[in-house]
Amino acid sequence: MRTNKCERQWRVNKKRVHRIWKEEGLQRKRKRKKKRVLGPTEGVPVKAEYPNHVWTYDFIEDRTERGGKLRMLCVLDEFTRENHHIRVDRSISAQKLIASLEWLFLLHGPPKYIRSDNGPEFIAKALREWLAERGAKTVYITPGSPWENPYIESFNDKFRDECLNMQVFISGRHA
């Protein structure tokens, strides 16, 4: 009995197919992960009404002269637009973030709300619990919507233009 070309079945190893796809530069469409939103989204103050009402914080990154990573945590009071703190380090974990906030809370008292994006340091369970113990409520912006956190974004732009782009830092200590 003869078989047609169309009726033949090829036996091909998955690894070989994958290697050929990579060599040809082909890709499968990947599903994008849905970004999660933590914290309350309703009844949250949009605008600070008095000093220490709403603080906002975010990270900005730069490089040293030799290409080392510098990460800066900037904390602002949205009402006064006062920069309370800039912490510079190679990496800033949730524990380092808590240490910085603890120092700021001693100086200024805890704010009623603290606004941030959904970065891993900001949504860490330890940080959320620590803030809840101090009576500060967290406000998370919608993922991919930096315009919901305009004061810190504006500060970061000016900070980059007026400081980071004007200086070449030798090390984190120099920064």
Q: Report yes or no on 110 lying in a domain.
A: yes
Containing structural domain, residue 159: 54-164
Would residue 128 count as lying in a domain?
yes
Domain presence at residue 132: yes
The domain spanning residue 157 has which CATH number? 3.30.420.10
Over its length of 175 residues, how does the chain's per-residue pLDDT go in tens digits?
455 555 667 777 888 888 888 888 777 666 776 656 555 555 556 688 899 999 999 889 888 888 888 899 999 999 999 999 898 888 888 889 999 999 999 999 999 999 888 887 878 888 889 998 999 888 888 877 888 888 888 888 888 888 888 888 877 777 7
Confirm whether 40 is domain-assigned: no
CB-CB contact of 109 with 132 (8 Å): no
8 Å CB contact between 98 and 133: no
Domain presence at residue 158: yes
Q: Please state the pTM of the whole predicted model.
A: 0.70
Count how many domains the chain has: 1
Asked if residue 82 is part of any domain, the answer here is yes
User: 3-class DSSP state for residue 147?
Assistant: helix
Residue 49 lies in a domain: no
Assigned domain for 10 exists: no
Give first-to-last CA distance, the chain, whole Å: 80
